[in-house]
């Protein structure tokens, strides 16, 4: 009897875990900065830069997830 898991199952579970981890990292970063540090309530350039950074980071997260699930990032 073979020991261990199938390599395909292992890669699939790594994709799932990295997707959840990076999504939660993005979420907790901007919740922490926005709510606890008060950047979500700022007006002027501070608020604009916060929301622009949040949008750019979200775009990069979606791009990373797309490439990961499409199979271009092999981990």
Please give the Cα distance from 50 to 44 (Å, whole number): 10
pLDDT value of position 1: 46
DSSP of 2-59:
--S--HHHHHHHHHHHHHHHHHHHHHHHHHIIIIIS-GGG--THHHHHHHHHHHHHHH
pLDDT value of position 9: 86
- Over the chain (75 residues), the average pLDDT of each successive run of 10 is 76 93 96 91 91 97 93 64
Q: How far are the Cα atoms of 28, 57, 59 from residue 15, in angstroms, in the given order?
A: 20, 19, 18
């Amino acid at each position: 009897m073979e020991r261990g898991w199938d390599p395909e199952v292992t890669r699939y579970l790594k994709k799932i875990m990295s997707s959840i981890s990076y999504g939660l990292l993005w979420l907790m970063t901007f919740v922490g900065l926005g709510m606890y540090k008060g950047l979500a309530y700022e007006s002027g350039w501070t608020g604009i830069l916060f929301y622009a950074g949040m949008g750019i980071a979200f775009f990069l997260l979606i791009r990373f997830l797309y490439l990961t699930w499409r199979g271009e990032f092999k981990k």
